[in-house]
């Protein structure tokens, strides 16, 4: 078995951190030695890591100062593979790898659509550095075909697409746990859920307007999460006259209990790297509606075969799609089976092929 180092910023709860958690779990389950190398060894997800995962903190103040301590790590440990996650981290990994001059295989990965997420000077600079750095990596991975196509507009490399690993078994266990919310106990109500950071990217203003346009007065919306827009979203719900039909529980420890009891789940984003939350809802057998945003939802839903795709920022089209799945929900077993295709064992196998190539053989 091999020795893999997974490199990212921290294990504070976020999409990339959950991917790292799931990948580390899958690798140790398959017998590999795994080091989780962090710019700063902090974050709630550290508590639940499998004990076989070794956490290495670089104690760097920021990503830009992490290259030298990462170089020292590589020279001291010489893992078979260094897997880096997200643009700035990837650039630091390439710099450290070239300085260390070790035989470690370097794999970099993109988890967001570069043209959509590079909205500041810092992000644009990181993308320019990526164009210089990525050709020095052994492999480049993207989490969706959309991310891959967008990345190749900026970086001249071959890209391998590997979708994100999702712990579908854990999601189903947690979905069955008890939760306390009156709306879910009332059979006369149709409950729609969504979840994510309350930031413009997630398009929750579009979702609120879509919900206001629904003809069903017995529908309710539960919007999980927190963020900079939470107060303005509450104000919008009030302005739309739906504040009594929308709940903002904030951050909850178990969002899957809400997803599993909902009649529909909606992703309303302007853009995503992949859209893990759709798979999480489908793992619960819950019907989903999504914007056809770059990148990921159309791949997860197979161009609408597993749930309606609607244009970004069009609340009327979203309202129609929500109404459609509430009236005629798709087969929950088919949704659950589709989610299984993104399970940790399936995705870990794809990563093993990239990490070890012909040298790897399944025992």
The CATH number given to whatever domain includes residue 191 is 3.40.50.2000
Q: Are residues 205 and 80 in the same domain?
A: no
For position 117, what pLDDT does the model report? 65
Distance (Å, whole) CA 260 – CA 255: 9
Domain carrying residue 243: 168-340
Q: What is the pLDDT of residues 202-212, one digit of tens each?
A: 999 999 999 99
Q: Are residues 207 and 332 in the same domain?
A: yes
Q: How confident is the model at residue 122 (pLDDT cuts 50, 70, 90)?
A: confident
Query: Structurally, how many domains does the chain consist of?
Result: 2
Q: Are residues 27 and 148 in the same domain?
A: yes
Reported pTM: 0.89
Phi, psi dihedral angles at 82 (to 5 degrees): -115, 120
For position 273, what pLDDT does the model report? 85
Mean pLDDT of 317-334: 97
Mean pLDDT of 90-111: 97
Q: Are residues 175 and 309 in the same domain?
A: yes
For position 76, what pLDDT does the model report? 98
For position 358, what pLDDT does the model report? 55
Q: Are residues 135 and 263 in the same domain?
A: no
Mean pLDDT of 229-237: 97
Q: Are residues 227 and 298 in the same domain?
A: yes
Q: Are residues 157 and 185 in the same domain?
A: no
For position 297, what pLDDT does the model report? 96
Q: Are residues 132 and 241 in the same domain?
A: no
Has residue 362 got a pLDDT over 50? no
Q: Are residues 141 and 261 in the same domain?
A: no
For position 119, what pLDDT does the model report? 67
Q: Are residues 150 and 179 in the same domain?
A: no
Mean pLDDT of 2-14: 94
Q: What is the pLDDT of residues 125-166, one digit of tens each?
A: 888 999 999 999 999 999 999 999 999 999 999 999 999 999
For position 113, what pLDDT does the model report? 86
Q: What is the pLDDT of residues 62-97, one digit of tens each?
A: 999 999 999 999 999 999 999 999 999 999 999 999
Mean pLDDT of 325-332: 96
For position 15, what pLDDT does the model report? 85
Q: What is the pLDDT of residues 244-259, one digit of tens each?
A: 999 999 999 999 999 9
Q: Are residues 316 and 235 in the same domain?
A: yes
Q: Are residues 158 and 210 in the same domain?
A: no
For position 172, what pLDDT does the model report? 98
């Amino acid at each position: 078995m091999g020795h893999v180092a997974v490199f990212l910023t921290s294990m504070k709860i976020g999409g990339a951190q959950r991917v790292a958690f799931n990948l580390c779990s899958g690798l140790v389950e398959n017998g590999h030695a795994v080091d989780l190398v962090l710019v700063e060894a902090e974050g709630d997800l550290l508590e639940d890591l499998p004990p076989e995962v070794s956490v290495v903190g670089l104690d760097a103040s920021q990503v830009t100062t992490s290259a030298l301590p990462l170089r020292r790590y590589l020279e001291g440990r010489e893992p078979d593979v260094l897997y880096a996650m997200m643009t700035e981290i990837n650039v630091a990994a390439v710099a450290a790898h070239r300085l260390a001059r070790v035989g470690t295989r370097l794999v970099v990965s993109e988890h967001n659509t570069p043209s959509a997420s590079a909205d500041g000077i810092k992000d644009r600079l990181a993308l320019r550095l990526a164009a210089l750095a990525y050709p020095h990596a052994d492999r480049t991975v993207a989490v969706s075909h959309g991310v891959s196509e967008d990345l190749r507009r900026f970086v001249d490399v071959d890209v391998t697409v590997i979708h994100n690993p999702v712990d579908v078994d854990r999601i189903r266990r947690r979905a069955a746990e008890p939760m306390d919310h009156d709306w879910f106990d009332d059979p006369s109500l149709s409950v729609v859920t969504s979840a994510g950071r309350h930031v413009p990217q997630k398009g929750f203003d579009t979702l609120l307007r879509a919900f206001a346009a629904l003809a069903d007065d017995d529908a309710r919306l539960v919007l999980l999460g927190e963020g900079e827009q939470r107060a303005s979203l509450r104000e919008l719900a009030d302005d739309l006259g739906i504040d009594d039909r929308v709940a903002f529980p904030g951050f909850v420890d178990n969002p899957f209990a809400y997803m599993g009891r909902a009649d529909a789940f909606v992703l309303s984003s302007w853009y995503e790297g992949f859209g893990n939350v759709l798979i999480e809802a489908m793992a619960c057998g819950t019907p989903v509606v999504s914007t056809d945003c770059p990148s990921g939802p159309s791949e997860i839903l197979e161009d609408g075969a597993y749930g309606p795709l609607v244009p970004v920022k069009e609340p009327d089209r979203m309202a129609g799609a929500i109404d459609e799945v509430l009236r005629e929900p798709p087969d929950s077993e088919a949704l659950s089976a589709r989610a299984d295709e993104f399970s940790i064992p399936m995705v870990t196998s794809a990563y093993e092929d990239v990490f070890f190539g012909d040298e790897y053989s399944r025992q």
